[in-house]
Structures are given as structure tokens and as C-alpha cells.
Amino acid sequence: MDTKEEALKLYKEVIAELLECGTKVDDYYRRFRELRLRTAELSFQGALLNVEHAFFMVVQSMNILREHLKLLEVAAKKKEIE
């Protein structure tokens, strides 16, 4: 198997995992946000807000990874002109 075929196989595997993981991360983010909105103590709200921000950064990183994986897919499917 050549590297392009291996890359496409791995791409499909990773994309499926990213979708599942992204759904879980989104659920955790929403749950922490709900806790923050229900919390009266300002210092604890700040801690929860930091956790929300960290989840946001994870999601941003996952989006960047997904975009690069799509570019990899395009590159792997591209035919060289001879």
C-alpha cells in the first residue's frame, strides 16, 4: 500500500473519531456553561469561565485539525500530471 492510500485510510479513521470526540466536548462545554450561569459566587464563575475557554480552545484546535485533514485528503487524491 502506498503512502497516499495509507493517509486516506487514516484520514477516514481520524475524521470519524473527531466527530465523536467533538460531540462529547461540546456536551461538556455546555454543561460547564450551565453551571457557570447558575453560580452566584463570582470567583467560582471565573474558574468555570476559564474551563469554558479551555473547551473553546480545544474545539478550535479540532477545527484546525479537521481542515488540515481535508487538505491532506485533497493532496492524497490529486493526480500528478506527467
Query: Residue 55 belongs to what domain range?
Result: 3-74
Long-range contacts, stretch 18-23, CB < 8 angstroms, 24+ apart: 18/62, 18/65, 18/66, 18/69, 21/62, 22/59, 22/62
Judge whether 82 lies within some domain: no
- Residue 2, pLDDT score: 85
Distance CA 46, CA 18 (A): 29
Q: pLDDT per residue over 4-57, tens digit each?
A: 889 999 999 999 999 999 999 999 999 999 999 999 999 999 999 999 999 999
- Residue 47, pLDDT score: 97
Domain count, the chain: 1
Judge whether 80 lies within some domain: no
Distance CA 63, CA 65 (A): 5
Do residues 28 and 55 touch, judged by C-beta distance below 8 A? yes
Evaluate if residue 65 carries a pLDDT over 80.
yes
